[in-house]
Amino acid sequence: LVLLLAFSMMMRPSFATTQLEGVEVTKLLVVVDASESMNVVEVEGTPSRWEQVTNLWESRNVQRRLEQLKFEQKIEAVRYFAAKDLGPDEPKARADGKHTDIGAWLHQLRQKHGHEKSLRGVLLISDGADNGTQFAAPDEAVRWRGIAPIHTFGVGDPNNPKFRKDIAL
């Protein structure tokens, strides 16, 4: 044991962590679709789309990674729930919105955060059934150029014949 310790000291192992001092905190905006279509159960006996997204977000691994991003990279995730309009992150939120208006979400996010210099990106999590009428999603997406990139994540099975009307984003 002493010999092993002596050899390991000769190899000079070092452990280091990176901490960014004096770096401004940046934001990652996460928008989760809270419309009724997220309550769809793809296969009997499995969680709904809403439950899957909620369970994933609240999982230990995701929360640990978010804390790691916040601590090591100074990235803060700001979550919103949205249906017709953008809403705040609420602990017991439900998917009960009547519309999925992605264009309105992007417009409202830009009004709220577009002036901030510290945006990392926008994550949209939806089943893709955009039926909003306030703002055209492609037009609003173009207005985000130079502000922050937009990344979309589809929820649900777009090939499920039971739900052909729901299109993956």
Give the pair of three-digit tokens for residue 55.
């369970």
> What's the confidence (pLDDT) of residue 145?
93
Q: Exposed/middle/buried for 114, CB within 10 Å: 0-12, 13-18, 19+?
A: middle
Please tell me the predicted confidence (pLDDT) of residue 166: 47
User: Which of 139, 166, 169 has the alpha carbon at shortest distance from 41?
Assistant: 166
pLDDT at 26: 92
Distance CA 72, CA 74 (A): 6
CB under 8 Å to 167, separation ≥6 — which residues? 128, 129, 158
Query: What pLDDT score does 150 carry?
Result: 95
In order along its 169 residues, the chain shows pLDDT tens digits of 777 777 666 776 665 555 555 568 899 999 999 999 899 888 888 899 999 999 999 999 999 999 999 999 999 999 999 988 888 888 888 999 888 899 999 999 999 999 998 899 999 999 877 787 889 998 999 999 999 999 999 888 767 666 555 445 4
pTM of the model: 0.78
* Model pLDDT, residue 131: 81
pLDDT at residue number 139:
92
